[in-house]
Chain A
Amino acid sequence: AQKITQTQPGMFVQEKEAVTLDCTYDTSDPSYGLFWYKQPSSGEMIFLIYQGSYDQQNATEGRYSLNFQKARKSANLVISASQLGDSAMYFCAMREGRYGNKLVFGAGTILRVKS
């Protein structure tokens, strides 16, 4: 069964606007962690943000925030004030269990920022 689903293969956003990248997940474990990674065209994987299942508040890191809706099993990434350098592939990933030993990735969303 698909553990992580990213339904948007590609997205466009105007520079300086906000954009939301969708991610839904499937797990029966009450303890899990959700991650977002960025992969620019150069290919490296860059960690952006983390949300634990027991965290009371939505995670934020600079212009990145995670809209965590536990009941809906969604963990959408919000990028505020988009920049041209945000153009990249974005992956949502999940680690199950308190000390889960595997990180499972979604298929990714390609974001293109227009000037």
Chain B
Amino acid sequence: NAGVTQTPKFRILKIGQSMTLQCTQDMNHNYMYWYRQDPGMGLKLIYYSVGAGITDKGEVPNGYNVSRSTTEDFPLRLELAAPSQTSVYFCASSPTAGELFFGEGSRLTVL
């Protein structure tokens, strides 16, 4: 029972580098999400997808890109990493309505 799987769990980037956070779910959920959580704060929605081929911006999309080529996968791309992107990133999925199922989080540090 894998649920939502995120990789990597930890990563350190230098300013200006790029990387992709991977997210896979095996529950056949239509909806998938990327959130970021800064220290001591709530979760901010970066991007979400309501199905394969469909993505939309959330509250804080600048500096990120996503794609949804399959139901299972929803990778988050960071281009030109900046210190402000140091955060914990959570991927989540849900059925059409209802609770979100979260991955374990990916801790990213940009130095």
CB within 8 Å of B: which residues of A? 33, 35, 43-45, 47, 50, 91, 95, 98-108
CB within 8 Å of A: which residues of B? 31, 33, 35, 41-45, 48, 50, 56, 58-59, 88, 90, 92, 94, 96-102, 104-105
Contact residues in B for A91 (Cβ distance below 8 Å) = 42-43
State the CA gap A45–B31 with chains docked (Å): 17
Beyond A102-B33, A104-B45, A107-B41, 17 extra complex contacts between A and B, CB < 8 Å: A35-B99, A43-B105, A44-B104, A45-B92, A45-B102, A47-B100, A50-B98, A91-B43, A98-B97, A99-B96, A99-B97, A100-B97, A101-B50, A101-B56, A103-B33, A107-B42, A108-B41
Whether A101 lies near B104 (C-beta < 8 A) is: no
Main secondary structure on B side of the interface with A: strand
Main secondary structure on A side of the interface with B: loop
> Which of B44, B45, B88 is A43 in contact with, Cβ under 8 Å?
B88
CB distance from B36 to the nearest CB of A (A): 11
State the CA gap A50–B58 with chains docked (Å): 22
Contact residues in A for B42 (Cβ distance below 8 Å) = 91, 105-108
State the CA gap A99–B94 with chains docked (Å): 11
